[in-house]
Amino acid sequence: MISFVPFVVKKNLTTKEHKVLTKGHKGIKSDRMNRRKPFSKDIIFLDDIESVVNKITAKMREDVLNNFRRNGAVIGISGGIDSSVCLALAVRAFGSDKVLGIMMPEHDSSPDSELLARELADKFGIRTIKEDLTPTLAGLKCYERRDEAVKREFPEYDPCKTRLPFFGVCFSFHCRIGGRDKRIGA
């Protein structure tokens, strides 16, 4: 795999300068780029995890403390892999007293998500808050637009009869129940 580093070319180059900089229009090969692994499923395996974690947390500290002039981090947590890694890195970078976890469930969220997020927060010793996004998403008509889009593709789709297989809840944000509209968050 050959990789090239982009470079800045000044305006109004002489022909000689242009040839020197472009080296036959291929760019300038970087030694660092040559050391990269080719893209594959094995790219997730890190040679020196501790070194990578130290680089990431140092960059987080530099950006948050110096560039943004903040004292810590607010991390959205769901209990999933991505938010768990982000939380672990933030706690390592700033300490548990400088990290706040925010859980943001909405109508279609798995109930397990909050349980996993709380377990994660307890493990790292951080404070948490919960902000239910259902009313906001309802106000933006996200659920209605989702149902309309699905219905356009699948005319037989009835959001009031469709249930998520593992949650056992109505897939639609609002359903007609007993002849009345029952709207969640309205």
Amino acid at 40: S
What are the structural domains, with CATH classification, of the chain?
A: 1-45 (no CATH), 48-132 (3.40.50.620), 137-183 (no CATH)
pLDDT of residue 116: 96
First to last CA, the chain: 55
* Range among 41-45, 48-52, 156-160 rated most confident: 48-52
pLDDT band of 45, cuts 50, 70, 90: confident
Q: Give the rounded percent of residues in the chain with a pLDDT score beyond 90.
A: 50
pLDDT of residue 186: 38
The mean per-residue pLDDT over the stretch 141-168 comes to 77
* Range among 3-12, 25-34, 143-152, 155-164 rated most confident: 143-152
The answer, as to whether pTM is greater than 0.75, is: no
Q: Please state, in angstroms and rounded to a whole number, the distance separating the CA atoms of residues 28 and 142.
A: 48
CB of 28 closer than 8 Å to CB of 50: no
For residue 121, give Cα distances in angstroms to 56, 103, 131, 136, 185: 21, 10, 15, 25, 27
Amino acid at 2: I
Greater pLDDT, 99 or 17: 99
